[in-house]
Amino acid sequence: MRRRTFLTGLGALGTATLVGCGSKSDDNGYVADPGALQVYSAQHENLTKAWVEAFTKDTGIKVQIRKGGDSSMGHQLVAEGAESPADVFLTENSPAMTLVERNKLLAPLEEATARQVPADLTPSSKAWTSIAARSTVLVYNPSKLPPTELPKSLMDLAGPEWKDRWGCAPGGADFQAIVAGMLAGQGEQKTKDWLKGLKTNARALQNNIATMKSVNAGEIPCGVIYHYYWYRDQAGTKEGSGNTKLHYFRNQDPGAFVSLSGGAVLAGAKKPDEARKFLQYITSKAGQQVLVDSKSMEYAVGVGVPSAPALPPLATLQAPPVDPFTLSSDQVTTLMTDAGIL
């Protein structure tokens, strides 16, 4: 008897679900909302959400976010081609954007939008715009690595004296952007050798946060991450960074690489006007202020918008001059695969 009751309930539940699926169109539904702007976003969820909420409040335009990783989402857009449901693409780093650009899937950037970001923070191709920036840093634990012993260059970490003494998250797009920057600035052979050193020397961790926490716990003396994970943790509980400090390489070293997050309108966008408005908004002063207020601790790139006061100004980081348009994700993947890292 009990089983029959259960089965009846199950049947009813199943039917309800099926019916529900057919008619759902609200935010938590099982189908994309055809009335909403479709944003494919590899950017951090909190920042994307903050932008979307402010934009919808301003314009009344509904937005749906599809989450993914930089590289996989870039390739997904390529696989989907002109038929993609996406209207806007936001990345954390630029190589994935370049991938989509090279497949001729981006709509030309509007002049008005381009003007909102300084020219040195945009690609020479002008097919997309940067929407935020992040700097490479070395996070270190002074009790395991005295400041006097800090490496002068990121390239030093491939040397035998650094065996088992540093960590990074080589599987992530963040790190691969750093390698892409190295490839553009130092050439293929130096990058290959460095990756060989990485394979022998470094501990591969899940992501930037895991790397920072490992350094904080003293498991490894130092690690390569992006700056904002550390500043976020410092602004919060300091649970994952209390025992650590940041080392900026500067001097146009590959370790001073500044990665640009990209934003673009897809050529096949179903809602091109709304998409352009969205991109225009997030690079505007108001949109960039949303970034600063979101506590994401990424650098604002909008003209005349100062980043969070805790951060050393972008101009003081002495980043190596790299045209983000030249950064290639595929070549980096091949090099890392050959080095046995991926």
Partner 1 sequence: MPAFSETVVRYDEPLADAPAVTGRRSARAPLVVVIGAVLVAALVVAPLFVVFGQALSAGSAEASRLLFRPRTAELLRNTLLLVALTVPLTVFLGCGAAWLVERTTLPGAGVWRALLLMPLAIPAFVSSYAWTSVLPSVQGLGGAVFITTLAYYPFVFLPVAALLRALDQDHLDSARSLGSSGWDAVRRVVLPQLRPAVAGGSLLVALHLLAEFGVLQMMRYPTFTTSILQQFAVGFSNAAGSLLAAVLALLCLGFLTVEVLFRGKTRIARLGPGTGRRPVAHRLGAWTVPTVAGLAVLVGLAVAVPGAIVVRWLARAVSTSAIDAGPLLAATGSSVGLAVLAGLVTTVAALPGAWLLHRYPSRAAIGLERVTYVSSALPGVVIGLALVTLAVQWARPVYQTAALAVAAYAILFLPRAMVSWRSGLAAAPTELIEASRSLGVSGFGTFVRVVLPLVLPSALTGFVLTFLATVTELTATLLLAPTGTETLATAFWSASDELDYVASAPYAAGMIALSVPLTVLLRRQILDQR
Least separation in angstroms between CB 300 and partner 1: 22
Burial class (CB in 10 A: 0-12, 13-18, 19+), 101: buried
The Cα 58–Cα 34 span in angstroms is: 20
Q: Which of 56, 102, 150, 209 binds partner 1 (CB under 8 A)?
A: 209
Spatial CA neighbour of 187 closest among 325, 322, 339, 340: 322
Distances (CA, A) of 30 to 22, 33, 101, 160: 9, 9, 30, 53
Contacts of residue 298, Cβ cutoff 8 Å, sequence gap at least 6: 47, 132, 133, 134, 228, 261, 291, 307
CA atoms within 13 A on the CB side of 48: 22
Residue 306 binds to partner 1 (criterion: CB under 8 A): no
Distances (CA, A) of 143 to 99, 148, 204: 42, 12, 22
Q: Which of 48, 71, 91, 129 binds partner 1 (CB under 8 A)?
A: 71
Q: Where are the beta strands (DSSP E) in 63-197?
A: 63-67, 88-90, 129-140, 166-168
Residue 111 binds to partner 1 (criterion: CB under 8 A): no
Q: Which of 115, 161, 188, 217 binds partner 1 (CB under 8 A)?
A: 217
The Cα 257–Cα 284 span in angstroms is: 25
Is residue 299 annotated as involved in ligand binding?
A: no
Helix 227-235 × helix 208-216 angle, to 10° = 60
Residue 74 binds to partner 1 (criterion: CB under 8 A): yes
Residue 1 binds to partner 1 (criterion: CB under 8 A): no
Residue 144 binds to partner 1 (criterion: CB under 8 A): no
Spatial CA neighbour of 137 closest among 270, 282, 257: 257
The Cα 74–Cα 83 span in angstroms is: 14
317 or 332: whose CB is closer to partner 1?
Answer: 332
Q: Which of 80, 110, 156, 193 binds partner 1 (CB under 8 A)?
A: 80
93 or 288: whose CB is closer to partner 1?
Answer: 93
Q: Applying CB under 8 A, what is the total number of residues that bind partner 1?
A: 58
Residue 114 binds to partner 1 (criterion: CB under 8 A): no
Least separation in angstroms between CB 71 and partner 1: 5
Least separation in angstroms between CB 309 and partner 1: 24
Q: Provide the mask over 12-41, with x wherever binding to partner 1 is found by CB under 8 A and - wherever it is not.
A: -xx--xx-xx-----xxxxxxx----x---
Q: Hey, what are 332's tokens? A: 């980096």
**Hey, which residues between 147 and 206 contact partner 1 (CB under 8 A)?**
171-173, 176, 204-206
Residue 210 binds to partner 1 (criterion: CB under 8 A): yes
Residue 207 binds to partner 1 (criterion: CB under 8 A): yes
**Hey, which residues between 235 and 254 contact partner 1 (CB under 8 A)?**
240
311 or 336: whose CB is closer to partner 1?
Answer: 336
The identity of residue 157, as a single letter, is L
Q: Hey, what are 289's tokens? A: 């202020």
* Bind-site residues: 44, 92, 228-229
* Bind-site residues for Fe cation: 44, 92, 228-229
- What residues line the site for partner 1 (CB under 8 A)? 3, 6-7, 10, 13-14, 17-18, 20-21, 27-33, 38, 45, 64-69, 71-72, 74-76, 78-81, 83, 85, 171-173, 176, 204-207, 209-210, 213, 217, 219, 240, 329-330, 333, 336-338, 340, 342
